[in-house]
Amino acid sequence: MDRVALLRRGVVLESATVGYNALEGIIAIAAGLAAGSVALTGFGIDSVIEVTSGVVLWWRLRAELGAARVGPTVEARAARWAGVLLLALAVYIVRSRGVDSSPAIGPERASWGSCSRRSH
């Protein structure tokens, strides 16, 4: 395959990846907020970060195809936003952990957990 065909394939694959990660992020954030799950919400926020980096790669591939002009300024801006999103994720997790945790409360026992244990 020639370079142009490979770049076009990369654009298509990256478009599908960004779409999937965006859907995954929306569902995970909504479900995490509804369930009060810091882990699930954090997973959704991480998907948003993946979408951001995926868009950067998509732009880069499109620039190499000559369909769009993307320079170092755009890449630096996108990298900065990915850093801001990572920092926001860290702040969310630390803040939620401080609010939600209490040494007096232990983990809840799930019914599936007792089924998965091996009897001795």
- Domain boundary assignment for the chain: 3-99
Decide which of 14 and 90 is more confident.
14
Q: How confident is the model at residue 109 (pLDDT cuts 50, 70, 90)?
A: low
> From CA 61, how far away is CA 20, in angstroms rounded?
18
Decide which of 80 and 20 is more confident.
20
For the residues 97-107, what does the mean pLDDT come to? 58
pLDDT number for residue 115: 46
Q: DSSP for 69-83, please give it.
A: ---HHHHHHHHHHHH
Q: How confident is the model at residue 111 (pLDDT cuts 50, 70, 90)?
A: low
> From CA 51, how far away is CA 90, in angstroms rounded?
17
Biggest distance spanned by C-alpha atoms of the chain: 65
Read off the DSSP letter of residue 36. T
Three-class DSSP category at 108:
coil
pLDDT number for residue 97: 72
Question: What is the tens place of the pLDDT at every residue in 18-48?
Answer: 999 999 999 999 999 999 998 899 899 889 8
> From CA 18, how far away is CA 11, in angstroms rounded?
10
CA atoms within 13 Å, Cβ hemisphere of 96: 15
pLDDT number for residue 114: 46
> From CA 39, how far away is CA 45, in angstroms rounded?
10
Q: How confident is the model at residue 100 (pLDDT cuts 50, 70, 90)?
A: low
